[in-house]
Chain A
């Protein structure tokens, strides 16, 4: 080790043999400085920032080159909202020790945060302004400024303490307690904060005790327009009487309910049962009556239906003869289509023997025209993709003549079945077509369908 005074090498000796400087004392000073630094560090770790600040200041009074202590002091100032003091410490630290990465980092952080210094300055100015307002007696203005300061920097302990002091002065102890709790959460062991907290607690305790005492003395309540004030004892005895009355009423209600349950309810139930039985009997009678009436009405309806059908037959005889004669007339004039329409309106069964013979003769003559009509209608419906109606028409044709139009009617009937997903019926028709006309176009196409079992081909393909 070198002598702090002359720079001579002193080794482990307590005195410098060159200049006589007290090396032991020097070592003790530096050691003490680091002891205070350790204390400061411990206190800072448990949020006792004011204690840490005191210890670190002492450490620096012993040995100003204790850079760690100075950097930590800056951090503590920063934490309690004193940014300018923090900056001062870090700048000094950097000046006293060139190679100082911690101070470099802190200063760089502040420089790299845009607007931090101007914001800090504005906060400090507001705080200073608040102190001025307090001194001039404008406490409301001071409170407004301090609230702004705390909003902008929630760690500014001094501002919180001053605001708490103002609240205490106005006897707003709850507000003061709230602000002081916030301050204590930042700097746990600050003497001033603790002092104010004690003051607030004591004041709140007095307040509560006062209230209780008042409560214990008298009781007051409104009785109509009057306010009744009585001692607590009298009030209690009155309450006891009221309680007894209340219990009596409650017992009365319970007894009433029990009587109702055991005596009244069974009677009511019996009455209801009797009433229900009567109702059921009456309903049964009404039902039987209705049934007999219904039977009578049904027989009446049947009679009426019979007479109506007789009347219809009578009417149909006349119409049928008219239609038969009209068909005969049109046939004789060569209008086979009109004749075929009229003959289809004739009911053969209502005609006499001669009439039926005439009908059969004429019908056999008009049969080709009638079938042609059904076939044409079937084709029209087929073209309109109305396959259900087409089936009715083609079926009428096929029922009369399976080989109509060289099997075209039968094939188209099959095709209509195919298109309406009635595959079995479709295949039945196609097989018949192949059986009757194996070599014409309908037969060939039917073979294609049967061979491929492809009943989903397009109708147009079939036509082609």
Chain B
């Protein structure tokens, strides 16, 4: 049985057009290649 209140929590407000720029800036674009780069840099530093 669906609990309306619980289900409602799943629905978050959508991003408005004015917030688009802020959203882009707030994005964490770090990917696995960045982590690999950092790890390699750390390894080279310790050596």
Q: Specify the chain A residue showing the minimal Cβ separation from B29.
A: A64
- Cβ-defined contact, B13 with A84, below 8 A: no
- Cβ-defined contact, A26 with B33, below 8 A: yes
Q: Does A313 have its Cβ within 8 Å of any Cβ on chain B?
A: no
Q: Specify the chain A residue showing the minimal Cβ separation from B43.
A: A20
Q: Specify the chain B residue showing the minimal Cβ separation from A135.
A: B8
Chain B 10-21 near chain A by CB (<8 Å), digits 1 or 0: 111111111110
Count A/B pairs, Cβ under 8 Å.
98
Q: Specify the chain B residue showing the minimal Cβ separation from A82.
A: B14
* Nearest Cβ on chain B to A450's Cβ, whole angstroms: 105
Interface majority SS on B: helix, strand, loop or mixed? helix
Q: Does A5 have its Cβ within 8 Å of any Cβ on chain B?
A: yes
Chain A 104-133 near chain B by CB (<8 Å), digits 1 or 0: 000000000000010011001101100100
Quick one: which of B11, B15, B32 contacts A124, CB cutoff 8 A?
B15
Q: Does A265 have its Cβ within 8 Å of any Cβ on chain B?
A: no
- Cβ-defined contact, B27 with A84, below 8 A: no
Q: Does A341 have its Cβ within 8 Å of any Cβ on chain B?
A: no
Q: Specify the chain A residue showing the minimal Cβ separation from B24.
A: A88
Q: Does A376 have its Cβ within 8 Å of any Cβ on chain B?
A: no
Give B18-38 interface residues, CB cut-off 8 Å to A.
Answer: 18-20, 23-24, 27, 29-34, 36-37
- Interchain CA distance A127-B20 in the complex, whole Å: 17
- Cβ-defined contact, A21 with B8, below 8 A: no
10 new A-B contacts at CB < 8 Å, known A85-B15, A124-B15, A125-B16: A4-B36, A5-B41, A29-B32, A30-B33, A62-B31, A128-B13, A131-B8, A134-B11, A158-B14, A165-B2
In order of increasing CB-CB distance, the 3 nearest A-B pairs are A128-B13, A64-B31, A121-B17
Chain A contact residues, CB within 8 Å of chain B:
4-5, 19-22, 25-26, 29-30, 60-65, 82, 84-85, 87-88, 91-92, 117, 120-121, 124-125, 127-128, 131, 134-135, 158, 161-162, 165, 168-169, 192, 195-196, 199
Q: Show 20 residue pairs from A and B whose CB-CB distance is below 8 angstroms, ordered by the A residue.
A: A4-B36, A20-B40, A60-B31, A62-B32, A62-B33, A64-B30, A84-B14, A88-B20, A91-B24, A92-B29, A121-B16, A125-B16, A131-B12, A135-B8, A165-B2, A165-B7, A168-B2, A169-B2, A169-B4, A195-B2
Chain B contact residues, CB within 8 Å of chain A:
1-2, 4, 7-8, 10-20, 23-24, 27, 29-34, 36-37, 40-41, 43-44, 47
